[in-house]
Structure 1
Amino acid sequence: MPEEDTPYGMWLRGELEDYLHLPELFSTEVIDGEIVVSRAPAFGRDRIIHAIIFAFNRAKVLDESFSWLCSSTGLDMVGIEAGYIPDLIILDEQISREALQGEVRRRLVSDQVEMAVEVTSPSNAKVDRCPAKGAEGRGKWRGYARCGVPYYLLVDRDPRIASAVLYSIPDSATGAYLQEESWKFGEEIELPGHFGVTISTDEWLSWDFG
């Protein structure tokens, strides 16, 4: 890699995948200064992502004034010089419109996001989760909190866990979320009132099933 550049800078310009000669089904993130390569979601994980999208789209059909949009674009974590690709981000329609008018073409920034969503797989679970007390490294949980993303929905498909956790009240100074609420697979997720969205998890499966 050229000495005058950084992984974060190349990620921002959309050059990192080409530099690493990755196939189309692979993507890169820059987390805690390290390049993390991921492949396209497995079928079971993809089904969960689309179930969340469906819940938001259904809310829009039922209420034309519903203002929340789902996106899977890259996210520039400006404050920590990191580049994430969440499984989903939730943002306000007006903010999305302003971003387009501001000629945003490749990345949104963390300040524009109301909620980030990550769905775990065996290869990424550790970096997505809240780190154990005293554990080294920071990962996405701390990154989202440090950049002030208001909500982080983590769907953990580990068969020993099989639950979704909604983290809220980020503390940027400590890089931690101060509040959480969880649901086991099979229970209905009720997002906070300003979203007005419930998400069925009846068909969600652990990664043992794909």
Structure 2
Amino acid sequence: MTAAMAGNGRAAGGRLWDYLLRTWRELDVPEGWRAEIDEERIVLVPPPHAHHHGIAAEAQRRLYGDLPEELEIYQTLGIHVAALGKLYVPDLVVMPSELIDTADPEVDDPMDAAEALLIVEVTSKGNARDDRTKKYRAYARAGVPMYLLIDRFDTRGAMATPFTEPNEDGTYKHSDPVPFGKPLVLPEPFGTTLLTDEFPV
């Protein structure tokens, strides 16, 4: 479950997004929690279950196997979906390391979601619906080429689904769900296979 912190940016004398972003930068978030901006408010996301971390770690380990040198995998990196005024903190983001290296060290701004090549979200029981709907639409709208949803709570059973070919209307043209227990082959530039039977459930 998420705990919301709301704020009216207009009351602070600035545009709402600027106010929310400034507040997001200044938040003292408890260790393990994440702060995101959604629906014109700041939302605190509690620490996930240990199995959630185990799945993210296994996915990261496999992705590193054949990742081109100019790309890097980032955990809990703030990304901004400009078209929707949202800021999410995915479990994993793959993007060119040069973008991180050249970011202003004095300003804690989120990265542009449009620069990500892959975003990975692992569902938790309390926020699985957001990963399946809001974040799915936001990442597609931002033009993220691949969104990998690892959903332990799918009604069909635990599933890993790569969504590809994003549309501006907030959908992906292609999806290929793979049940836990079967290998999931990711195309180039990743060129690796996730062994979903190694994911803790």
Let me know the Cα RMSD of the aligned residues. Answer: 2.3
1:152 corresponds to 2:147 = yes
Measured against aligned partners, the alpha-carbon deviations of 1:29-67 in whole angstroms (never above 9, x if no partner) come to 11233433211221000000000111122335xxxx544
State how many pairs are aligned: 188
1:33 corresponds to 2:36 = no
1:100 corresponds to 2:101 = yes
Measured against aligned partners, the alpha-carbon deviations of 1:91-147 in whole angstroms (never above 9, x if no partner) come to 13xxx21442242663211121001110001111011104xxxxxxxx111111111
Aligned to 1:116: 119
**TM-score when normalising by structure 1:** 0.79
| Cα distance change, pair 6–44 in 1 and its aligned pair in 2 (3 A) | farther
Amino acid at match of 1:204: F
Q: What residue ranges of structure 1 are gaps of 5+ in the alignment? A: 131-138
Please say if residues 66 and 190 of structure 2, whose CA atoms lie closer than 8 Å, have aligned partners that are also in contact: no
1:85 corresponds to 2:92 = no
Measured against aligned partners, the alpha-carbon deviations of 1:157-191 in whole angstroms (never above 9, x if no partner) come to 1163300000011111x111111011111111100
User: How much identity, in percent, do the aligned residues show?
Assistant: 28
Please say if residues 29 and 85 of structure 1, whose CA atoms lie closer than 8 Å, have aligned partners that are also in contact: yes
Secondary structure of residue in 1 paired with 2:73? strand
Aligned to 2:180: 185
Q: What residue ranges of structure 2 are gaps of 5+ in the alignment? A: 1-6
| Cα distance change, pair 108–188 in 1 and its aligned pair in 2 (3 A) | same
Please say if residues 35 and 42 of structure 2, whose CA atoms lie closer than 8 Å, have aligned partners that are also in contact: yes
Secondary structure of residue in 2 paired with 1:178? strand
Please say if residues 160 and 180 of structure 2, whose CA atoms lie closer than 8 Å, have aligned partners that are also in contact: yes
**TM-score when normalising by structure 2:** 0.82
Hey, what's the Cα distance between the residues in 1 that align with 2:153 and 2:33?
Answer: 22
Hey, what's the Cα distance between the residues in 2 that align with 1:142 and 1:52?
Answer: 22
